[in-house]
Amino acid sequence: MAEFTMELNDEQKEVRDWLHGFAADVIRPAAAEWDEREETPWPVIQEAAKVGIYSLDFYAQQYFDPTGLGIPMAMEELFWGDAGIALSIVGTGLAAVGVLANGTEEQIGTWIPQMYGDASDVKVAAFCSSEPDAGSDVASMRTRAVYDEAKDEWVINGTKTWATNGGIANVHVVVAVVDPELGSKGHASFIVPAGTPGLAQGQKFKKHGIRASHTAEVILDNVRVPGSCLLGGKEKLDERLARAREKAKQGGERVKNAAMATFEASRPAVGAMAVGTARAAYEVALDYAKTREQFGRPIIDNQGVAFQLADMRTSIDAARLLVWRASWMAVNGKPFTAAEGSMSKLFASETAKQVTGQAIQILGGNGYTREYPVERMHRDAAIYTIFEGTSEIQRLVIARTLAGTPIR
């Protein structure tokens, strides 16, 4: 285990500075354009692929940083550049993690390269879990996968919604019900490659923020995929379902969902994205407050403005510390006895909403226009309290963890 220190090591500083350079030179200057276009910024993803930021190798390297700070540091810098573009760059990672967590070695080797493509032909991937009637309540999912033993194929039917990169992905990872009796224990994940008959994009959503990230419905109409597309394989699924059925028979002991532990480990990464957006808005506001003069002096000379900046900076630093703590716990296998991962996501995302709003206030009329980036950052920040579990769901998880009651 790495010794405790509050300082990044030289290697981490080097990576951070490199990412910051990319965010400042490539992402930030493109932010306003792609926000207006509301399209996936393919040329920026391609640039990221060229320099090695858009690749599984890069994220794996950061993930295996023994201090746990590699991923949060990377997320903070990229999202500091722009949240919509950064989500287009890191969105594939959500699907890749789905394959890494549940797939066999062969599935990992086959599908992950197809998720990223290469610098001359970049591809993206989508993770499709949410449905129109199953957002926070994942157990009420209706997309059904049925096994056709004669053909060794799975037949999938259903509608997924709000999928990042949905319909434009080269690889879709689709979560579906294989045993409706078992609630969320009866789910399994499938690879659905682009071009599979029956797979189609539904409506593409026009959004409030992160508009450079593509969000759409994904329709699965009698989609057939070979048995090899079930992540983890049939044998492992049958064993898992048999165990779940046995537990259900024994009086339905409500075991803690293993997925909860995964969420605790992944939520700090979303917290770090929120820290990046909050820091970006704070920096613009600080700079503005020092240079904008009213009543013959910089507005920062007014305590009412300076105290807001003090609060903004304090919240951002506190959010980062919660994110770093949870990331360090995840990498070092510490049990999340107080749902520290959810805590970090809750606090950082609420901070981003608050701070970006304060930044608009400090910039006054300019803050409210698209001449300055804080208006966009405020719109972007609203997503953090919604995806990867809403703030209310984070509070529910924290409260139930503290109370010792089951989380379903």
Binding site for ligand FAD (CB under 6 A): 94, 127-130, 135-136, 162-164, 207, 210, 215, 383, 386-387, 390, 392-393, 396
Residue 38 or 179: the one with the smaller Cβ distance to ligand FAD is 38
- Angle among Cα 176, 270, 207 to the nearest 5 degrees reads 75
CB-based closest residue to ligand FAD? 135
At 53, phi and psi to the nearest 5? -80, -30
- State the minimum distance, in angstroms, from the CB of residue 349 to ligand FAD: 12
Residue 160 or 240: the one with the smaller Cβ distance to ligand FAD is 160
Residue 375 or 388: the one with the smaller Cβ distance to ligand FAD is 388
Q: Are 325 and 340 in contact (CB under 8 A)?
A: yes
What residues are paired with 281 via a beta bridge?
A: none
> Is residue 388 flagged as an active site residue?
yes
Nearest to 280 by CA among 302, 313, 321, 305: 313
What residues are paired with 117 via a beta bridge?
A: 122
Residue 95 or 122: the one with the smaller Cβ distance to ligand FAD is 95
Q: Are 196 and 224 in contact (CB under 8 A)?
A: yes
Residue 56 or 397: the one with the smaller Cβ distance to ligand FAD is 397
| Of 38, 235, 388, 392, catalytic | 388
- State the minimum distance, in angstroms, from the CB of residue 10 to ligand FAD: 35
Catalytic residues: 388
